[in-house]
Structure formats: structure tokens, C-alpha cells
Structure 1
Amino acid sequence: MKHRGHEPFPLLFSDDDTDLDDVREALGAADAVEGLGSNVAATLSWAKSVTPPRSLAATWELLSSVAARDVAAARVLEPHLDALAILGEAAREGIDVDVDPGGSWGVFAAEGPGMRLEARREAGTWTLHGTKPWCSLAAHLDRALVTAWVDDERRQLFVLDLRDPAVTARTGPWHARGLAGVVSAPIDVDAAVAHPVGEPGWYLRRPGFAHGGVGVAACWWGGAMPLRDALREAAASERADQLSRTHLGRADTALWAARAVLRDTATAFGAGGSASEGLRAARARTVVADAVETTLAEAAHALGPLPLVADEAHARRVADLQIYLRQHHGERDVARIGADVATGAGAW
């Protein structure tokens, strides 16, 4: 992929020059990493060195620009920055978390059938017991923010040291062709000591929950932009016809609309105080997911099988995006939007 030195994408245009300088510095360091995205250890080492941007807009700028370089690299960076943002949010609310924020971080909040992670408190000490699914890179990370059940109805967030002998990271199953190195497998926890972050339910109630969800969408958007570039190159060739330009036009329009939604969402979140941030985030994620699905389809139809079998970077990008995009749950997420709107929530 061609990119312009260490410049970010013109996605959100942060007004804070210091933030943009931090983004450029992070991108410059990323461009110097050999095996960015494919070398997990080197990518994590770079991620730990990244200075988290202070504004949401600059954070999404960084994530989209990293995804344009390598989708897997963004998949590594995004939860690390999200964890640091959650810890910062807790500190601003006066929640005492006596944990060193150094090292590499993940966020493990998914649930799965037949698996349950429970928290128990004895003599003032919290311990975690059970199995947590979908723990990306657990075998490589230092710590994670993990949700666990404190009873049958409430979940609470905890800091878990993944290097604790009481934590076992499974190696699979993970047969994915996309994001092959970003293994997302269960962890088994046998009475590991954990530190609570907030009260039960705080993790889901906090404003940053919606913000983090759209940060993932910014990764999707940036990851799709090189496919638009490939379509543009095909449409500009001497052999181009109306069909190749139609494919480009569809992808370009979809990604342009998604960019506008991301910018609008960053502005709205920056203003704060909205009771419908969750719905806004769900709408934004859906718009971006649809745009990336459209781009993947247009690239497949316009470019045919050749780049999928002969261009390693293109083939890996497509496979990585197809897996990463499944963090959006398709029609189920759209149905939740419809349910909120049907009950009168989320006026435009």
C-alpha cells in the first residue's frame, strides 16, 4: 500500500496540533516496524510505545491510519488504547484503580455459550473463576480489563494480570485465515486475584463504552481505504470501462458517507452530555460496516480473483477485514437500533 509519509488520513481533522503531532509520531514509528501486523511481538512493542491521543477525533484518526497500513496492526492497537482510555475514564470519575498502566493491554468483555467467568470476594480480595471466551492475544499481553459476573444479573470490570499462573490462555480453536496471528481464544482462570474497576454495571453505563465501539468502526473504515485505491487504479487504466468506474463509484460513495458519519459522531461525542450516545454509536457502526461490506464486494467484482491469489497484501487485507468486520453483528445490531427507535429513543 502506498501512503504519504507519516501523514494520517484526513478523517477527522483534529484542531489540536499536539494531538496530530502524536498521531504522526505513532505512524512514523509504525512505518519503521518490520512485519507490522504479522509480527505480533514487534507490533505489540510498537503499540506500547504509542502516546494515546488526548482527543477522540485524533484517536480515531490514528486507528484508521494504522488500519490503512495493516488491518491486524490496528486490531492489536485498538483494544490497548481502549483499555488505557477506560482506566483514564475511571480515574476522572474518582474510581481508585491501584494498578500500573504500563505494559500491553486487552479488553475482554464478550460472553459465549457454555462459558462463564465469575468474581468472588473473600476477606476483601476479589478472585476470578471460570472461562472467558474471545480473549484476543491473551497469550501475548501483560494485562486485560475483563468483565466477570458477580451474581446472575450484574457484570463488573476487573484488571486481570494475564501473567498470573492462575490464568491459562488457550491456543485455539483458531483456524482463521484472516487475522491469523491475532488469536482470539478462551482463557481459563482458577482463582486469580483481580482488581475491580468501578461498581457492577459501570463498564456498560459509562459514556466511553459507546466511544470505544466507534473506534473499532474507524479501524474498519481505514482498512477499506486501500481497496478503494485499488479500484481507482483499475478505473484509471487504459482498459477501464463503465463497469470498473461504477464499482469505484459505489465504493467511493459508501466510504465517503461513512467518513461523514464518523466526523459527525466525533463532534457529537466531543460535545458530550447526550443520553442517546449508545444509539448514535450503533448507527455509526452500522453505516461504516455497510460501507466496508460494499467496498469488499465491489473490489471482488471489479478486480476478480487475480489480486486475491497473486497479491499477498491485498489478499491478507481482504481476509483480515472479513474477520474483523464480524465484530459487527449484522442484522442483530440493526434490529437493536430498530427497537430503540420504535420505543421513541434517539431523535435525529
Structure 2
Amino acid sequence: MNNAAHFENLLARFAARSVNADAQSALQKLMQEFIGSGFASLPMPGQGRTLERWRTLAAVSASDLALAKLYEGHTDALAIMTELDPDELNARGFWGTWAAEPHFARVNIMDRQRDQVYLHGRKAWCSGAQMLDWALLTTWDEQHRPQLVAVDLRQSTISIEADAWQAVGMSNTASVDVAFKGALGRCVGMPGQYVDRPGFWQGGGGIAACWYGAACALAGYLREHCRQPWHDAHAAAHLGAVDAALCSASACLKDTAMWIDANPGQSAQLPVRRLRAQVELTVSLVLEHVGRALGATPFCRNPHFARLAADLPVFVRQSHAQKDLAVLGELVAAKPADGWLL
């Protein structure tokens, strides 16, 4: 069996597991196998193979979104370090990327020795914290500037606060709070560079590819339903609406990947914001039409469908809805309408 076929077989077996399986243990073992076998080494975005990278993220997401969340976080961490600090890249182990900055949780740099820093505070939305070896996390330095830091999570000065994670959708990511009490870390890049680098928005496009992959998997169940001789015209109409939306999102993903590869050093904020808005609309439409067409049966009798249908509405909330659309509108208003030209 070649490597691609082995990768696809692992994904298929993971998607077909029982609802009652020990998901977090299975996630950790599968990620370790991916890392050890080289399946987590994706092409860097902006180097001519961005669409290939996004296709892999979409394929993983079609299997399981909790797996996709951890897989994307690991591959994003490697891409960030390659971009910002290639001479210090230590890719061994299982990595995560924790960049959420809610008002109620912040990690500060309290002391330093050159690029070694000591961290204090609490980080929220730390996906996979109980499974990871290392994390890249956003912190704040002594001058209140954002600073990315790499941290070995196997320190006694780091503790997990799991009580806050009460999720049903995306529950298996265990995106808990993590407390840092003098934990040692290493600065990656300069203050502010994490957000300012070209790869920030290039990586944001990868999240849209994850949404898209899960939506395609759900749509596949409707397509299979419509291949049966007993399907009705209403189901076919639902499939037609889903197909139109997915084809539009697919075209947008391909166009955006092409733009990124043609402009690797430029900010991809505008095309990626457009992409994320398009794919989010597609996800909403797919969830509605697939559910209305198929009824309760796959939600209750198919473990893969049920997981995706529960996880995708939570995962897509990485979009900030009207807040993101408002920023997109401001960007569009300030530029010529070239994005609308045929």
C-alpha cells in the first residue's frame, strides 16, 4: 500500500469508529502515527502548493473535525516556526497553536533571560492540551506587545483546568483552560510578528478548507441518498442547492490558493476574508439542506454523520460572523471593486 492510500485508510477507519470509542486516546495515537509516518508534514503555504495543503486539511476534516482541529494546529505550528524561526525549529513531538485572546484569559511574560521567558497567566481554548507535547501560544511582553512563545507542556508549572470545557460539539478536542505559573518558554519571532507575517492569513484560509471538507462529507450522504431508486424530488432539489453552494466554495478555495501562491509575500487578508465568508455561507446551507432532506435517521444511526453534524456548527464559529463581515465590508469599501469583475 502506498503512502497516500495508507493515509486515506487511516482516515476512513477513524471516521467509522463507534460513538462510544475512547476518542481522545484514539486521537492522540492517530496523531502520533501521522507525525511518525510523515503524514503531518504538509507543503508550506505560499510556495506553489497551497491547494495541495488545503486538500489534505479538507480530507482530514471529512473524516473527523476533532482530528482536524488537532492536525491543523500541529501543521500550523510547524509552518509558523518555519516562517519565523527556522534556525530554532524543533519539530519533534505533537504541537498545538493556541492564539485565542478572550478578555478573561491572558498570559504575560514576567521575566526573561535573552529569548527564554517565564510565563504567568491563563490561556483559554487550548485544544488538545492533555495530548500535546509542545504549544505555540500568544502572550504579552513587558511593554504590552503580543509575543509568540514556544512552550514545553511537560512542566510542573503548567496545569490544566478542564472544568470550563462543557462542549457537546467538538467535545473531543478538549479545548480546556491552561494555567501558567512561572513556566519557561522561548520567544518565536519578534513582538507582533505572528499576526503581521504573510502566513497569518494564509493559515486562515486553511481553516476554511477544514470547514469545506466537513461540509462535503455531509453532502456526500445526501448524494448517496439521491442515488437510491426510492429517493424523491425534494431530496434531489436539496442536493441541487448543496451542489451549487459547494461548487462556488470550491472555486473560491482554488482561486484563493492560486492568489496566495502568486503573491506569497503580500497580506492575503482580503482574499481570505472573502473565502471564509463564502465557505461559512456554504456550510450553513449544507447543514440546513442535508438535515431537511435526510431527516433524523443519520443523526441517530450513523456515528460519522452524527459527529460531523454536531461538530461542524461549533468549528465554523471560528468565524466571528457579522464582526468578520463588517471588517470585510470596510476593506472592500476602501478598494476598487476589482474583485467583482469577470
Q: Normalized against structure 2, the TM-score is what?
A: 0.88
2:46 match:
none
Tell me, yes or no, if the aligned pair for 1:37 and 1:73 is still in contact at 8 Å.
no
1:27 equivalenced with 2:29 (yes/no): no
Tell me, yes or no, if the aligned pair for 2:42 and 2:75 is still in contact at 8 Å.
no
Alignment partners' CA distance in 1, 2:241 and 2:223:
11
Q: 1:42 aligns with which of 29, 32, 53?
A: 29
2:112 counterpart letter in structure 1: E
1:47 counterpart letter in structure 2: F
Structure 2 residues not aligned, in runs of 5+: 44-48
* Secondary structure at 2:131 match in 1: coil
Tell me, yes or no, if the aligned pair for 1:159 and 1:195 is still in contact at 8 Å.
yes
1:53 counterpart letter in structure 2: L
Q: 1:53 aligns with which of 42, 51, 55?
A: 42
1:3 match:
none
1:213 counterpart letter in structure 2: G
1:146 equivalenced with 2:137 (yes/no): yes
Alignment partners' CA distance in 1, 2:147 and 2:215:
35
1:40 counterpart letter in structure 2: L
1:118 counterpart letter in structure 2: N
Q: 2:56 aligns with which of 43, 49, 62?
A: 62
Q: Deviation per CA, 1:9-51: give whole Å up to 9, x if none.
A: xxxxxxxxxxxx8655533444466959932222221332324
Alignment partners' CA distance in 2, 1:244 and 1:222:
21
* 1:303 shift after superposition: 0.9
Aligned residues: 325
Distance 1:71 1:166, change over 3 A: same
Q: 1:89 aligns with which of 78, 83, 101?
A: 83
Q: 1:108 aligns with which of 86, 93, 98?
A: 98
Tell me, yes or no, if the aligned pair for 1:105 and 1:142 is still in contact at 8 Å.
yes
1:16 match:
none
2:317 match:
326
2:108 match:
118
Tell me, yes or no, if the aligned pair for 1:37 and 1:43 is still in contact at 8 Å.
no
Alignment partners' CA distance in 1, 2:40 and 2:113:
38
Alignment partners' CA distance in 1, 2:208 and 2:22:
18
Alignment partners' CA distance in 1, 2:291 and 2:167:
20
1:75 match:
69
Q: How does 1:6-21 map to 2 (within 5 A)?
A: none
Q: Deviation per CA, 1:221-247: give whole Å up to 9, x if none.
A: 111112212112222333333321111
1:265 match:
256
1:11 match:
none
* 1:274 shift after superposition: 6.2
Alignment partners' CA distance in 2, 1:250 and 1:59:
27
Alignment partners' CA distance in 2, 1:342 and 1:89:
31
Q: Deviation per CA, 1:65-104: give whole Å up to 9, x if none.
A: 1122222221221110000111111245xxx43x521000
Tell me, yes or no, if the aligned pair for 1:255 and 1:291 is still in contact at 8 Å.
yes
Alignment partners' CA distance in 2, 1:43 and 1:170:
24
Alignment partners' CA distance in 2, 1:67 and 1:161:
27
Tell me, yes or no, if the aligned pair for 1:280 and 1:346 is still in contact at 8 Å.
no
Distance 1:278 1:187, change over 3 A: same
* Secondary structure at 1:172 match in 2: helix
Tell me, yes or no, if the aligned pair for 1:172 and 1:183 is still in contact at 8 Å.
no
Tell me, yes or no, if the aligned pair for 2:64 and 2:307 is still in contact at 8 Å.
no
* 1:152 shift after superposition: 6.2
* 1:151 shift after superposition: 4.5
1:193 equivalenced with 2:184 (yes/no): yes
1:13 match:
none
Alignment partners' CA distance in 2, 1:233 and 1:27:
20
Tell me, yes or no, if the aligned pair for 1:135 and 1:185 is still in contact at 8 Å.
yes
Q: 2:237 aligns with which of 242, 246, 262?
A: 246
Structure 1 residues not aligned, in runs of 5+: 1-5, 7-20
Distance 1:37 1:201, change over 3 A: farther
2:179 counterpart letter in structure 1: D
2:103 counterpart letter in structure 1: P
Alignment partners' CA distance in 2, 1:198 and 1:132:
20
Relative to its length, the structure with more helix (as a share) is: 2
Tell me, yes or no, if the aligned pair for 2:198 and 2:266 is still in contact at 8 Å.
no
Q: 1:286 aligns with which of 277, 284, 303?
A: 277
User: Which shows bigger deviation, 30-39 or 119-128?
Assistant: 30-39
User: Which shows bigger deviation, 284-293 or 118-127?
Assistant: 118-127
Q: Deviation per CA, 1:272-293: give whole Å up to 9, x if none.
A: 2564511111111111111111
* Secondary structure at 1:134 match in 2: strand
The percentage of counterpart residues that share the same residue type is 33
Distance 1:347 1:117, change over 3 A: farther
